[in-house]
Amino acid sequence: MSKHANRRLSRLTLGTAACALALSAALPAFAADKGSIGVSVADQKSLFYVAAVEGMKAEAAKLGYDLRIASASNNSSLQIKQVQDLLVQNVKALIFISQDSTAAQAGVKAANKADVPVVAVDEKPEAGAGKLVTYIATDSVKAARDLCTWAFKQMGGKGNIAILRGVLGATAELQRSQGCKEALKEYPDIHVVAEQTANWDETEAYKATQNILTANPKLDAVFGESDAMAMGAAKAAKQAGRDGLIYFGIDGFPTMFTAVKSGLTQATMAQNPYKMGVMAVDDAVAVITGGGKDIKPEQYIDTTLITKDNAGTEKPSTYYGPSADSMQ
Amino acid sequence: MLQSTNATDAAHAGAQESAKERALGLVRLVPGPLIGLVVVIVVLSYLSPYFLTTRNIVNIFSQVSDIGIMAVGAALVIITGGIDLSVGAVLASSLMVNAWLYRYGGVPFPLAVVAGLLFGTAVGFVNGALSTYARIQPFVATLATMSACSGFALFITDGSPITTFPDWYTNITAINVLGVPFEAVILVTIYLITAFWLRYRPSGRALYAVGGNEEVARLSGLDVQRIRVGTYAIAGFLAALAGMIVGSRLDSAQPTAGVNDLLSVIAVVVIGGASLAGGAGSMLGTFIGLLTIGVLRNGMGLLNVSPNLQPVVIGGAIILAVLTDRRSRH
């Protein structure tokens, strides 16, 4: 390619980029007159966050507020910049699902400085890191504790389990591990014979479970700290011809509902991100309109245990919003 | 099997040559990575009673099949002096294209599979075109396509997986041929064909020429740019094929599949003795590198080694392998 053509190509690329920018700036031209609420979310890959944002959108549309949503693709320094950009646009409140405690702290501080009320969802800033209207989340420790207790009862209070952990050090991984450890204290005859990480990923869980099954001829249950990992474990055991094990996960994703119904896996704890999104907008609006004095500083949403008994009657859309039923 | 060096070359020892020198010559014949692999296998067999069981060996082969197929393409690209960072992302995006067409596009499944493979090949072509005709450094070009493909994989379904495929597709990873899992057969076949091509076909040998010295290759009449583009296209196709294996294994297409595979793939190729400077590397070496990583991971899983410590061991293995391999150091 000649130098000349090269220059033409780069000019074309620049032109396209400029057009795209101009277009995206022109898009949210019909802001509702009540003002806008900023939403900063860690990512839009995980179904949990997608569902939370769906809930926010639905509620904001109902109340006539405009939402400005920024997703940070799991990059905490990018998220801090996005929060600052939202604050520059004079949002009246900030709903904040932070990537980690680092981003949380800096984001909350910036919002406090700009006098914008903050509703934190899912990830909590460290204590003393600024002022929050409220913090809305799943009590992951309790969810894991209840789930593991249910499973240990199913096992008759004795036997061997394996635990597949999420990304090490992630808040959800730490809390879910802690919850199951608390349940283990009550059941001295349950032994954890293997503990590996599979980074929330189904393929990694499949491979890790193959090895765990090989090394442990006597295994009664696998706890996947996410639904994807529990399903990967169940499929690996199926392929190895091992049956009669109990597989349980946490999330309550639509695919897991199907798996529990079909008997591939035995249980999950369904979280309620859609409802969290709705509540976050309600609280933000209450504060904007001068109310919200009675909002509790911490609001924990209970999870629901999904087993073969209720997988047929419960609907994924209850937890993950209207679009979830089509994903089964 | 594949032989990396010819035994007769070293066997023409003169009468004056001492026994010590002859012994050293014999040691040099064994590829460096193979010694490491044998040591790892011996140690693990000693530590875990389950390691050398048929079931476990079968598991190791099926566990490495997806990484292994991607590593073939990555090795070819690295031999020509390039690098392909997009393999993991191509795996995810072609898998999602395939699943989406089948589930929401109403395309019959076999056609959807072909479309997925074509998509991967097309991304490979783009990688090749960008890094040759558009003169973008391969690292940068494939970094860009990696980003685009991983985003596209998520965008297609808004991040949710697609599940439940036809039985014949899930059987690919479930059936055995003469006691050997079919995915292992596919894996070894790809290695054998590629090894044959690299060794005995002029078009295969041309890869070493291009990677060794581009100017000389050009002057001797090779169409360097076409060879490069072709190599990237093969890498894209193989990444898509690895995606089909992953989808078949889980009976589900995950948009985040393969996201952590890139570093494993590069590690496999490097442990196998290929040089990132280009012009060196072999399929036998890559296969040994693949087994080394696979055996280490499997063994650490069997021994329930702390998950935090596992990447440390893998890192150490890479350093050791490269240090003991005289040919790939510069």
One DSSP character per residue, A54-107 reads HHHHHHHHHHT-EEEEEE-TT-HHHHHHHHHHHHHTT-SEEEEE-SSHHHHHHH
> Is B330's pLDDT higher than 80?
no
Q: Which residues contact B91 (CB under 8 A, 6 or more apart)?
A: B66, B70, B120, B239, B240, B242, B243, B246, B257, B258, B261
The token pair at A157 is 């209070």
Tens-digit pLDDT profile for residues B116-140: 999 999 999 999 999 999 999 999 9
Dist. CA B269–CA B287, nearest whole Å: 8
Task: Report the percent of chain B where pLDDT is more than 70.
Answer: 89
CA dist list (Å): B23 to A305, B11, B34, B38, B55: 67, 11, 18, 19, 37
Which chain A residue's Cα is nearest to B48? A215
Question: Please, which residues 55-84 of chain B have a Cβ atom closer than 8 Å to chain A?
Answer: 55-56, 59, 62-63, 66
Q: What is the mean pLDDT of chain A?
A: 87
Count the neighbouring beta carbons within 10 Å of the beta carbon of residue B47: 11
DSSP H/E element including A136: strand A134-138
pLDDT above 70 (res B8): no
Nearest CA in chain A to B256: A201
**What is the pLDDT, as a whole number, of residue B327?**
54
In angstroms, the CA A85 to CA A249 distance is 37
Instruction: Give which of B16, B122, B62, B7 is closest to B246, Cα–Cα.
Output: B62
Q: What is the tens place of the pLDDT at every residue in B201-260?
A: 999 999 999 999 888 999 999 999 999 999 999 999 999 999 999 999 888 898 888 888
What is the pLDDT at residue B176? 84
| Residue found by looking up tokens 């440390």 in the block | B312
Of the listed ranges A16-25, A136-145, A147-156, the least confidently predicted one is A16-25
pLDDT above 50 (res B310): yes
CB atoms within 10 A of CB A227: 29
Of A110-119, B6-15, B183-192, B221-230, the one with minimum mean pLDDT is B6-15
How far B173 CA lies from chain A's nearest CA (Å)?
9
A168, A210, A231 member nearest B307 (Cβ): A168
Using alpha carbons, select from B198, B328, B211 the residue that is nearest to residue B275.
B328
What angle is formed at CA B169 by the lines to CA B145 and CA B289, rounded to 5 degrees? 55
Report the alpha-carbon distance of residue B198 to residue B286 in Å, rounded: 13
Instruction: Inspect the interface and report whether the beta carbons of A211 and B66 lie closer than 8 Å.
Output: no
Mutate to test the interface with B, among A173, A211, A219 (most CBs of B within 10 A): A211
Please state the separation of Cα A256 from the chain's center in Å: 15
Mean of all residue pLDDT scores within chain B: 87
- For residue A142, what are its two tokens? 């309790």
**pLDDT given for residue A18 in this prediction:** 47
Q: How confident is the model at residue B36 (pLDDT cuts 50, 70, 90)?
A: confident
Across the interface, of B63, B159, B161, the residue whose CB is closest to A207 is B63
More confident residue, A276 or B6: A276
For residues A32-57, average pLDDT: 88
Query: A203, B246: Cβ pair inside 8 Å?
Result: yes
**How many residues are given for chain B?**
330
CA distance B291 to A85: 49
- Tell which residue, A152, A324, A138, A314, has the closest CA to residue A248: A152
B298 touching A, CB under 8 A? Answer: yes
pLDDT digits (tens, 9 = 90+) for A9-22: 455 454 444 444 44
Coil, strand or helix at B221: coil
Residues of B in contact with A210 (CB under 8 A): 59, 62-63, 301
Could you tell me which of B81, B98, B145 has the C-alpha nearest to residue B244? B98
Q: What's the CA gap between A257 and A249, in Å, rounded?
A: 11
Give B276's pLDDT tier (boundaries 50, 70, 90).
confident
Give the pLDDT confidence of B51-107 residue by residue, as tens digits: 998 888 888 998 899 999 999 999 999 999 999 999 999 999 999 999 999 999 999
